[in-house]
Chains A and B, each alone.
Chain A
Amino acid sequence: MHQFQISPIIPIEVGGWDISFTNSSLWMLIGAVLSLVLLGVAASRKSIVPGRIQLIGEEIYGFVEDLITDNIGHKGREYFPLVFTMFMIIIMGGMLGMLPYSFTYTSHLAVTGALAFLVFFTVLMVGIARHGTHFLHLFIPPGVPGWLLPLVVLIEIVSFISRPITLSVRLFANMVAGHVLMKVVAGFGIMFATMGGLGWLGSLLPVIFNVAIIGFEFFIAFIQAYVFAVLTCIYLKDTVEIAH
């Protein structure tokens, strides 16, 4: 579990709260700077025929744009920066986390929870501000018989409240599981290698396996950012229109 250990770099304490700049914050900074440099360069090129970096920026833009128009509709454009920032932060966390000796800031429930609750409160506040009491219709699906209504409403409320929890736990658990698995398999390799004799031959299998897992983990890093963004869109849709 050492890879998930948070260690302060610059200790800061404000009003009794420990908000030290840690290795987690450092990798957030690296991720933020990297995405700003990449997208900043991509945005500043403004060429009719894009180069490599400009194309990467435009592809990410188009990817998130399609995500929003597919899941929210054209009214969802107001959430474009929110979903885009979310996607960039999570994909940077996952991708940078694949570097050896780096720190995966999305492997901490505090971070994924903060992002998930950000979405949750955005939905809640914008929904109530825009729809007022009509927003409560979200919990009353149409065509439910009267006697079943209390139970259905209860289930709907629970499912609504569970949104940020599932959202944050999914991302955090995926990141942790991937990194733990890589470490465990790597540990097998070291175990065989230090056995002596022909034991090192046994380490070949875990090493080959780990190569596959690392490739897969890059895919997971992308897929989790995608899933988080898609679910964010689906939840934000409730603020644009209530289906019933």
Chain B
Amino acid sequence: MSKMKTVLLAMSFAILHAGYALAEEVAAHSEAGVHEGGGMPQFNFESWAGQIFWMVVFFIILYTIFSKAVLPAISDTLETRKSHIEDHVKAAEILSAEAEQIEAALKEALRNAGHKASEEIQFVENEAKARNHDALSSFRARFESDISSAEGRIAKACQNAMSDMDSIAADIATKMAEKIAGIKADPSQAETVVRSLSDKGRKAA
């Protein structure tokens, strides 16, 4: 790096020397009243004071206005924009956090509602089952008592029918004995005989 700088230094010295030589030539020409002579106008040192003066003047003017007015204003605008964007980003973050909270609350509420609904469904179902069961069992009890009373009635009717059969048989036997053998039989005696016979038969069966 230093080597390169030294080379550049040497080169710039060479250019400066050439400049001096040219300036001398130009000066010689201008003394002779020839302004448009050869050589670079850059090395006409007569113009240097003016150029440096005006450059310094404009530099000071620009520096002052830039540092006092323009740059603080632009910096201000950039800061404002940055804080504006940051504020909005922050607000968006807060809102999104809120939205997340609300979503969580919503999910919680949904879950709770689901639980409650299934509980209620369970309750109603259980109740229905119990009622169904009650109704069924009361129906069965009534049904069974009906059946048993009906059976009792049938048995009674059967018994009645059987005792009727005995008296009919005794009656027939009395009438048969009168007709066939001409014997007058006592109907109540006959009935006793029939009843004992049917009791015997029933016992044998």
Contacts and interface: CB of A to CB of B under 8 A. Distances in A.
B135 interface: no
A48 B66 contact: no
A5 B42 CA distance: 8
A43 B69 contact: yes
A211 interface: no
Interface residues of B, number: 51
Interface of B is mostly: helix
B105 interface: no
A4 B16 CA distance: 17
A8 to B, nearest CB: 8
B5 interface: yes
Question: Binding site of A, secondary structure by majority: helix, strand, loop or mixed?
Answer: helix
Nearest to A109: B42
Contact of B66 (A8, A85, A158, A172): A85
B15 A39 contact: no
B49 interface: yes
A194 interface: no
B167 interface: no
A110 B74 contact: no
A41 to B, nearest CB: 10
B198 interface: no
Nearest to B43: A109
Given A48-B81, A58-B77, A110-B47, A84 B71 contact: yes
B2 A156 contact: yes
Interface stretch (B50-58, B93-101, B117-125, B139-147): B50-58
A22 interface: yes
A108 interface: yes
B64 to A, nearest CB: 9
Contacts of A2: 36
Given A88-B66, A169-B8, 9 more contacts: A6-B44, A17-B53, A24-B50, A40-B65, A47-B77, A48-B81, A113-B52, A159-B2, A166-B9
Interface of A: 1-2, 4-6, 8, 12, 17-22, 24-25, 28-29, 31-32, 35-36, 39-40, 42-48, 50, 54, 57-58, 61-62, 80-82, 84-85, 88-89, 105, 107-111, 113-115, 118, 155-156, 158-159, 162, 165-166, 169, 172-173, 176
Q: Which 3 A-B pairs have the closest CB atoms?
A: A81-B67, A43-B73, A162-B9
